[in-house]
Amino acid sequence: MGQSHVTIHDRVFRPYLPAAALDEAVSTLATRLSADYAGREPLFVVVLTGAFMFASDLLKRMTEPCEIVFIRVASYEGTDSTGVVQEVLGLRENIQGRHIIIVEDIVDTGTTMHHLLPTLLAKGPASVEIATLFYKPASLRHELDLRYVALEIPNDFVVGYGLDYDGLGRNLPDVYVAV
């Protein structure tokens, strides 16, 4: 791990997952996705801002042709989900008949996906799946079918590798957990 503890604003975070463990999990997930989507040319819909590092590493490892677009939704304030999703930047591409893979940094309450899935399904895609770096089953409030989970983690607040605490910490290559 790069550092022992990090302090962001008023919070201290301890090391949780090193970059090598993240790399291995992302590689494994990319192998599964490449096999499952062989010949389908999926469209990866990346939820900004937290999923940008995960998406970059995931797509670099995809062996099948694919496309990528970005959307932005927000439902966090500090370390807590607000429970209200605000779509900031929407999807403009025609996804009718396409195989869609939503790329999310973390699924905890499921509120973001619960809001986003009906919006995407209304546009007539051939399929929609979720690929998430982290999944916190203890936090889930909405039933979701998660076929592509890189890592399952406890209900702890984490930062690094794209995930933030009030905008900071996204640049950390390792993942840290709040103390």
**Does residue 79 register a pLDDT over 60?**
no
pLDDT band at 88 (very low <50, low <70, confident <90, very high): very low
Please state which of the four CATH numbers 3.30.110.60, 3.40.50.2020, 3.30.1330.10, 1.10.8.50 is assigned to the domain occupying 41-75+86-157.
3.40.50.2020
pLDDT recorded at residue 119 = 84
User: Which residue is catalytic, options 57, 105, 108, 174?
Assistant: 108
pTM over 0.75: yes
Which of 38-42, 94-98, 114-118 shows the lowest per-residue confidence on average (mean pLDDT)?
114-118
- Digit-coded pLDDT (tens) for 46-77: 998 899 999 999 999 999 999 999 998 765 55
Residue 85 in this model has a pLDDT that exceeds 90: no
Give the count of beta carbons closer than 10 Å to the beta carbon of residue 35. 10
Q: Does the annotation count 145 as an active-site position?
A: no
- List, for residues 98-145, the tens digit of each pLDDT value: 999 999 999 998 988 988 898 899 899 999 999 999 999 999 999 899
